[in-house]
Amino acid sequence: MTPAIETILSHRSIRKFTDQAITDEQRNAIIDSARAASTSSFIQCNSIIRVIDKEKRQLLAEYAGNQAYVADAAEFFVFCADFNRHLQIKPDAQVGFAEQTLIGAVDGALMAQNALIAAESLGLGGVYIGGLRNNPDKVANLLKLPEQVIPLFGLCIGYPSQDPEVKPRLPSELVVHTDEYSAMDKAVLENYDSKVREYYRTRTGGNKEMSWSEQISGTLSKEARPFMKAFLESKGFSTK
């Protein structure tokens, strides 16, 4: 395998960091890697907010569900979908379409994935913070996000002070289909559920034993963030 593939396959979410700072050269390389990501129709509809103010970091940690590593990590970036820049270029630009919301989310994810892979290749670690969407209005106000800019998620980056196992992903048999969508192989799922249950048991010292099927059954038993549609519309997204 190539070093790039080895870096990708060894990904773990890091939630504990040392106090060591990231160099300007490292940070610039991470940001440049994010900027190099593919962008739909060359629209380039994303912005990154680097948050260094300690008070704002602490508030963002609280908004995200009291995730302390948001405040503790060497770097914290907020990835945003951004069509405000386009309105500054063309004030009568046609924005607000649902497709543009998708483009902003997809392109933002591509940028963030590039950033984290670059960071991991430098010996750093990180974790994405979707919890910012628990309080998107407060995040937007804190970061002074204008019309047509929404926070998608955050990204903590720093030197790891933990060494967690690689979390088992769905096997290719359940993810990859050929020519058409095929029925799920229940035997493959059961085997995967066993691996996930063992992963949690080992990771938590026996305090948590849950299969993937059990986990998503709980997650999808209720609506997540029911306020999100109204927030998107309030910022001018998905109104058409």
pLDDT tens track for 4-52 = 999 999 999 999 999 999 999 999 999 999 999 999 999 999 999 999 9
Span 197-234, pLDDT tens digits: 999 998 888 888 999 999 999 999 999 999 999 999 99
Burial of 171 (0-12, 13-18, 19+ CB in 10 A): middle
Span 93-142, pLDDT tens digits: 999 999 999 999 999 999 999 999 999 999 999 999 999 999 999 999 99
- Evaluate whether 154 touches 69 at the Cβ level (below 8 Å): no
Question: Kindly report the CA angle at 171 between 166 and 177, in degrees rounded to 5?
Answer: 145
Query: In sequence order, what DSSP letters do the residues of 96-163 get, joined into one string?
Result: --HHHHHHHHHHHHHHHHHHHHHHHHTT-EEEEEGGGGGSHHHHHHHTT--TTEEEEEEEEEE-BS--
What predicted TM-score, i.e. pTM, was given to this entire model?
0.95
Closest CA to 142 of 226, 233, 63: 63
- Evaluate whether 126 touches 159 at the Cβ level (below 8 Å): no
- Evaluate whether 119 touches 113 at the Cβ level (below 8 Å): no
pLDDT score, position 206: 82
Cα(67)–Cα(60) distance, integer angstroms: 9
All domains in the chain, ordered by first residue: 3-164 (3.40.109.10), 172-216 (no CATH)
pLDDT score, position 203: 86
Cα(191)–Cα(213) distance, integer angstroms: 11
| E strands present in the chain | 46-50, 75-82, 125-129, 149-158
Span 53-81, pLDDT tens digits: 999 999 999 999 999 999 999 999 999 99
Cα(54)–Cα(68) distance, integer angstroms: 12
31's tokens:
């940001």
Closest CA to 192 of 227, 167, 217: 167
Cα(117)–Cα(113) distance, integer angstroms: 6
